[in-house]
A = this chain, B = another copy of it.
Amino acid sequence: MDFAPSARALEYRNRVAEFIAAEIAPVEQVYAKQKQLPPEQWTVPPVVEALKQKARDSGLWNLFLPSPFAEATGQGPGLNNVDYAPCAELMGQYALAPEIFNCNAPDTGNAEVLLHYGSATQKQRWLEPLLQGNIRSAFCMTEPDVASSDATNMTATAVLDGDDVVINGQKWFSTGIGHPNCAFVIVMALTDPEADRHRRHSMVLVPMHTPGMDVKRMLSVFGMHDAPYGHGEVHFQNVRVPAANIIAGPGRGFEIAQGRLGPGRIHHCMRLIGLAERALSLALERSTTRTAFGKPLANLGGNRERIAEARIAINQARLHVLHTAWLLDNHGASGALSELSQIKASVPRMAQNVVDMAIQLHGAGGLTDDLPLAEAYTAARSLRLADGPDEVHLGVVSRIELAKHRHSQEPQHHDAT
């Protein structure tokens, strides 16, 4: 057992840290202005494209892409999850950082779908520009009218009609669909209601602005719109695309969704560690510089205990995420099934609590957008629902725990017979 990061992990972590400190931290406020605008005015500030180019030139690009995809595409250094984790953590400290390094959701997940299941045409047409950072994408899964935590519930339809597939239905919380560069979405929809429960759905690649596809509105999350990405409500009315746009062919939607969500979930958790670290850092800054009742806040009431509890919670969560990453790297998704749900059910809550503490230390200012805390809170809170609510993940953990227990008891039962 060795907790020392590899030389490679350390090198990339340090380079990302330097890049963020030198390039991203200073422009945080520029980007924040996007948040003030209504969705129809969202743009990509020039600084963003300049920084993307700089990150790319520095070799800090597509860091999320694991071997052998890195080799296959010639993109990114091919870090494994454990080595990527410290980089992703740092990116989690600034809302705009992931895009600068071309490591932002849902593009990373969509890229992995295309790498795993995409046709040569799809890869050339959509994956390549996505990995170049020339386009963005969205993922249309959640529906307003059904409990989307069970992917087999999806009611939007993708019906084959000759050489085409025709999509109807409503999706929402399609994150990233408001980005000016969003060029395509991947839609999960029902193709064959008679098939086996896990073979009914398909994933269809739909270019933005295909006729019949309508982004009705950007949903707010605690009043924020996560500009310039946004969470769209999208209606599909007889949206027709070639059947070749069905990724990996009809009926494989559930299979793809299962595979897609593992890395996405752990990436979210890695970034949340960074988010919580930044909140703690702001809390420390505030508690040492703000005075009340004649003392720095750090010396008032339970504030020091709260700081210590935050440090403990962050450290435990980070180790948990790193261990899960290591399991993914060494034993695959099936070897990390419980742990992926364990971190997904606990890390967002941890981050939510740490940010809430930091807000409280900041007083009213902590609630405003003068500080990144309210937005960070919203991000952490949302992730208690996105990609499966806490409760569903706790259910997975307990199911595995009960199965392990039954299994451990079996030899004894056997002995008894």
Contacts and interface: CB of A to CB of B under 8 A. Distances in A.
A304 B360 contact: no
A301 B394 contact: yes
A313 to B, nearest CB: 9
Contact of A385 (B9, B360, B385): B360
DSSP majority for the A interface?
helix
A366 to B, nearest CB: 8
A168 interface: no
Contacts of A27: none
Given A5-B1, A316-B319, A401-B284, A222 B374 contact: yes
Contacts of A4: 1, 330
B3 A326 contact: yes
Contact of A1 (B2, B292, B370): B2
B307 A401 contact: yes
Copies in the complex: 4
A339 B319 CA distance: 13
Contacts of A280: 401
Contacts of A317: 316
A153 to B, nearest CB: 8
Interface stretch (A141-149, A184-192, A264-272): A141-149
A284 B402 contact: yes
B1 A223 contact: no
A273 B309 CA distance: 19
A149 B338 CA distance: 33
Contacts of A366: 385
Contact of A293 (B150, B307, B342): B150
11 contacts: A1-B5, A147-B291, A149-B292, A150-B292, A220-B374, A308-B345, A308-B395, A311-B401, A315-B342, A316-B317, A367-B381
Given A1-B6, A366-B385, 8 more contacts: A1-B2, A149-B292, A219-B368, A223-B223, A223-B369, A301-B304, A301-B391, A319-B320
